[in-house]
């Protein structure tokens, strides 16, 4: 059962916030959906956006300014919370970059996190099927995007589930989390000390593992004034992995832009048009 928290008219469509009892997580989860005016005519291409550390299902919908272009294109937008909440795990909200608000879009294997922290399965299976069944998403035209931790999530989910997603992009993704402080901290506690298990959640490792092009193109934007660029994000490693594997990548570097949502506002239209174009081409090719 889906509980409607609130719905708002927006550019001729509906911006909604919802809650459901997640069987994957074992707790209530919140998500948001923007349905453009074209949703009344049938299933539409749909973009799942994965937010970054400390964010919620509201962040992208409120801060990115994406609905105007989504309404023009006829593109459904979906965002979810970034972790389970109120799990009862001691200290879950003590650190801003681990635990509550920092699920890293993986399935934890280490106790006590493994019981509820199953964001990989939640996004790829339960949330996806919920949006297809109840909100008019076309299951053959699904894309992924995200920011920072969510950019990591978008890349990883898309690279591991290319049968589900047809397009992928990211803003300032954590591209090589097995080799940065954020990733090492999260992976060691969610997945354990064996680093071999971490590779399945590292975009650079997944691209090398494929050894070929998985998508016709990947779009990534990175601000050069990003305060996390040097220590955490590793766009150069992503670029090198794609080059070595033959995976087309458009990595755009922008002077003067930091890690925040003013950066995302500036380039979100490019990402929406990229996804709409790619999803439309995928449907044409399939037909």
Residue 58: the pLDDT is 98
The DSSP H or E segment spanning 46 is strand 44-50
As to burial, measured by CB atoms within 10 angstroms (0-12 exposed, 13-18 middle, 19+ buried), residue 25 is: buried
Question: In terms of C-beta distances under 8 Å and separation of at least 24 residues, what long-range contacts does 55-59 make, across chains too?
Answer: 55/82, 55/101, 55/147, 55/150, 56/30, 56/81, 56/82, 56/101, 57/17, 57/30, 57/31, 57/32, 57/81, 58/17, 58/32, 59/261
pLDDT tens series, the chain, 287 aa: 999 999 999 999 999 999 999 999 999 999 999 999 999 999 999 999 999 999 999 999 999 999 999 999 999 999 999 999 999 999 999 999 999 999 999 999 999 999 999 999 999 999 999 999 999 999 999 999 999 999 999 999 999 999 999 999 999 999 999 999 999 999 999 999 999 999 999 999 999 999 999 999 999 999 999 999 999 999 999 999 999 999 999 999 999 999 999 999 999 999 999 999 999 986 545 44
Residue 287: the pLDDT is 45
Residues annotated as catalytic (active site), given as ranges: 148, 226, 259
Residue 281: the pLDDT is 86
């Amino acid at each position: 059962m889906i509980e409607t928290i609130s719905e708002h008219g927006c550019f001729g469509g509906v911006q909604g916030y919802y809650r459901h009892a997640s069987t994957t997580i074992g707790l209530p989860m919140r998500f948001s959906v923007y349905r453009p005016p074209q949703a009344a005519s049938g299933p539409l291409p749909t973009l799942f956006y994965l937010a970054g550390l400390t964010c919620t299902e509201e962040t992208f919908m409120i801060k990115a300014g994406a609905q105007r272009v989504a309404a023009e294109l006829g593109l459904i937008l979906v965002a979810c919370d970034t972790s389970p909440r109120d799990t009862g795990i001691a200290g879950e909200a003590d650190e801003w970059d681990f635990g509550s608000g920092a699920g890293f879009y993986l399935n934890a294997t280490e106790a006590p996190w493994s019981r509820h922290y199953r964001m990989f399965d939640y996004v790829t299976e339960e949330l996806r099927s919920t949006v297809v069944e109840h909100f008019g998403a076309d299951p053959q035209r699904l894309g992924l995007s995200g920011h920072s931790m969510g950019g990591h999530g978008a890349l990883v989910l898309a690279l591991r589930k290319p049968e589900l997603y047809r397009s992928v992009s990211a803003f300032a993704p954590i591209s090589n989390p097995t080799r940065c402080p954020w990733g090492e901290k999260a992976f060691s506690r969610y997945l354990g000390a064996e680093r071999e298990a971490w590779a399945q959640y590292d975009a650079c490792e997944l691209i090398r593992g494929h050894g070929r092009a998985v998508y016709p193109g990947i779009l990534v934007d990175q601000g050069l004034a990003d305060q996390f660029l040097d220590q955490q994000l590793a766009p150069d490693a992503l670029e090198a992995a794609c080059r070595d594997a033959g995976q087309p990548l458009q990595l755009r570097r922008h002077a003067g832009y930091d890690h925040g949502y003013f950066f995302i506002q500036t380039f979100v239209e490019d990402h929406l048009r990229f996804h709409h174009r790619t999803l439309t081409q995928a449907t044409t090719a399939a037909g």
